[in-house]
Amino acid sequence: MENNKISGAEAVIRCLLAEGVDLVYGYPGGAIMPVYDELYKFQDQLHHVLVRHEQGAAHAAQGYARVTGKVGVAIATSGPGATNLVTGIADAQIDSTPLVCITGQVGKHLLGSDAFQETDIIGISTPVTKWNYQVTEAHEIPEIIAKAFYIAKSGRPGPVLIDITKNAQFDTLDFDYKKCTGIRSYLPKPILNLQKVQEAADLINNAKKPFIVFGQGIILSQAEEQLKRFVEKSGIPAAWTILGLSALPTEHPLNVGMVGMHGNYGPNILTNECDVLIALGMRFDDRVTGNLATYAKQAKIIHFEIDPSEVDKNVKTDVAVLADVKESLTAIIPLIDKKSHDSWHNEFKEKYKIEFDAVINEELIPTNGKGISMGETIEMINKHSKGDAIMVSDVGQHQMFACRYAKFNSSKSNVTSGGLGTMGFALPAAIGAKMGQPNREVVAIIGDGGFQMNIQELGTIFQTQVPVKIVVLNNEFLGMVRQWQELFFDNRYASTKMINPNFVAIAEGYHIKSKRISQREDLDAAVAEMLASKDSYFLEVMVEKENNVFPMIPTGASVSDMRLS
């Protein structure tokens, strides 16, 4: 690209275009105004979505990134604009979502003076970003933004924040953009050790009761096809973490369900009976392992992982295969024997029957004469979406019901806040997901508590006319906290009962077609009408108030101690 003098603000836009960005989420303010002035000039090439709160910008960028595999971009001003991004950035960091967040900052000469809307966003965001940097001179902009995109996307993805002082936006530079292809001392992925692959293959081939747990690493490395081939050749039962959900079709015969606190009974109980546990692109989160002192102590542990810091962090491994999981699976598939493990699979089927009889059947087809259940609502969405929708769930009981019962045919279909557990995530993330995959149906599953945390993003839906489908499962409680209060705090419902507004009236205030149902016989037609709508649609389902999510592993308990009631 030939050299030419342009402003730092224009350079920001030209850098984004050079990285293939065509969509950004943000909210303007004084310290970022020069960039917004350039956005106005380039609006035919770079679409800006005006959110109603900067947290919404970060979550929308996450939703976009999660369903496309691209880097999501959020822009905010200094001070409160920047600090409002932090929750979304922290969420992206723990869930390995590639974001580039650009914030404005007061002029270089005012730094450290407590100027109007000055906040040390570099200091604040350092613990929750993969990398951050403050630009104080215009000439730095191309190199720093190129590095930001490379770091956000490479290796284990994550969020990057670039803070740009106002003088750097106004000053000029000779613009020349070169994409970053490497940084000295930064090794995004380890070099695959074929000896470790062979050691892993030997353990797998000699195992009598091998068990696979796969996580989001499969989706991030685009290793879905390799996972399917690995599972089908080895015949090993495979379970998923909530962020691994949809990497293998839900109905695949070797898919045995979800591990974790509210996962399926079989995969959790049998974790402590397998002889080889193969962890693929997952980090042994405490919600998956329960009490580490009793987790899979009888098993040899094989950990396929891209981030060396995750190996032996929580669970001691016998063989660590450090590499991009797509690369390591490709290498191991020729080395493993073709098997079926029929009797081992039968143990999972027996445990599923126990869970079905004790929990699932009543959840999906209630006969207790009580109100609509969350599980049957998810099942009704399955019926009408036929497993082809993207489901974006918020955080709470409805999230666990969605993850337990949603059916998915293809990858990148489950978008939720995993590690941080951010209430308010789903509404803006669904906006980003629908904009990233406009040809797929996107359904947000939200509780009445989480819905009110970012309810203002209904305004973004109205202004952009993005046809998101919103389902609020309203039990008039902060349901997950209430469940814990019932089970572990003697029914003391401290500050968990919700006195809610008229959600339908609010949605209609934003000109979104809306419906509220409370009778089971209305559920089928309401879901059908919602999914048939070409426009955005809000459906409030009044569900059973004190319905609990089971099975459940109590905090600090072993996976062997999973409760069915």
Residues involved in catalysis: 54, 116-117, 166, 480
Nearest to 214 by CA among 282, 300, 155: 282
Which of 552, 554, 409, 527 has its CA nearest to residue 473? Answer: 527
Burial class (CB in 10 A: 0-12, 13-18, 19+), 241: buried
Nearest Cα to Cα of residue 146 among 107, 176, 187: 176
CA 287-401-93 angle, 5° bins = 45
Tokens of 188: 């995004």
Max CA pair span of the chain: 73
| H or E, element range at 321 | strand 319-322
| Contacts with 113 (C-beta within 8 Å, 6 or more apart), sequence order | none
Distance (Å, whole) CA 500 – CA 361 = 30
As given in the structure block, the two tokens for residue 545 are 């108030």
Q: Which long-range contacts (CB under 8 A, 24 or more apart) does 301-305 make?
A: 301/277, 302/200, 302/203, 302/204, 302/276, 302/277, 302/278, 303/279, 304/200, 304/217, 304/278, 304/279, 304/280, 304/328, 304/329, 305/217, 305/279, 305/281
Q: At 294, phi and psi to the nearest 5?
A: -120, 15
Helix-, strand-, coil-residue percentages of the chain, each rounded to 5? 45, 20, 40
The tokens for 356 are 């079905």
Tell me the CB-side half-sphere exposure of residue 336, using CA atoms within 13 A: 25
Burial class (CB within 10 angstroms; exposed 0-12, middle 13-18, buried 19+) of 192: middle
Closest CA relative to residue 339, chosen from 236, 238, 254: 236
Supply the DSSP symbol for 351: H
Structure tokens at 202: 């030997």
User: Minimal CA–CA distance to 548: which of 374, 426, 371?
Assistant: 374
DSSP 264-309: -HHHHHHHTT-SEEEEES----HHHHSSGGGSSTTSEEEEEES-GG
How many angstroms separate the CA atoms of 57 and 448, rounded?
A: 21
Residue type, 433: A
Q: How far is CA 544 from CA 476, 547, 549, in A?
A: 9, 6, 12
